[in-house]
Amino acid sequence: MKCLVCDREAKEKFCMLHDKAYRNVVQKFEDWKRATGISWKEYLKEVAENTFTGSWAKEVAEQLLSEHND
């Protein structure tokens, strides 16, 4: 199976590098949610649009947002 973001081998959704970024994104969301009550989708948009976000996290956030279309 390939990473959803890049073409590297992945165990589940993401390769090792994007999985690490994904874990960071999820972990930070817990803090943000506690502090601001932000929703998961709003948070992902913030991460994807924030110029200070690392590119790995940004790519992961964009991928998660694309899965999240309603």
Among 1, 2, 5, 22, binds Zn ion (CB under 5 A): 5
Three-state SS string over the chain comes to CECCCCCCECCCCCCHHHHHHHHHHHHHHHHHHHHHCCCHHHHHHHHHHCCCCCHHHHHHHHHHHHHCCC
Q: Does 21 bind Zn ion (CB under 5 A)?
A: no
Query: Judged by CB under 5 A, which stretch of 12-20, 21-29, 34-42, 46-54 contacts Zn ion?
Result: 12-20
Q: Does 3 bind Zn ion (CB under 5 A)?
A: yes
Q: Does 58 bind Zn ion (CB under 5 A)?
A: no
